[in-house]
Amino acid sequence: MRKGGQKNEGETKAPPSTELNANHQRITLQVLHVKKVDNYFETTNQQKTNTLHYLERQWRVLNNIGK
């Protein structure tokens, strides 16, 4: 039977602080991964926008529009 803070025989549960630290590290890594993915798509979207603007400018130049 369990009393106070004593472990039952064979119980190997980590102390709460260790579990919290491990969860915090896991969540931190997940957040960093999401930020990395988000930055990738933001960069990709910016590149698409820049390319689109470049092509629009080239089209105007070729058609003598908006000199």
Please report the pLDDT score of residue 36 as a whole number.
92
What's the pLDDT tens digit per position in 27-49? 999 999 999 999 999 999 999 99
Is residue 30 within 8 Å of residue 36, measured between CB atoms?
no
Residues 5-16, mean pLDDT to the nearest whole number: 63
Q: Return the higher-pLDDT residue of 34 and 4.
A: 34
pLDDT at 48: 93
Helix (H, G, I), strand (E, B) or coil at 57: helix
The pLDDT score that the predictor gives to residue 1 is 47
34 Cα distance to chain centroid: 1
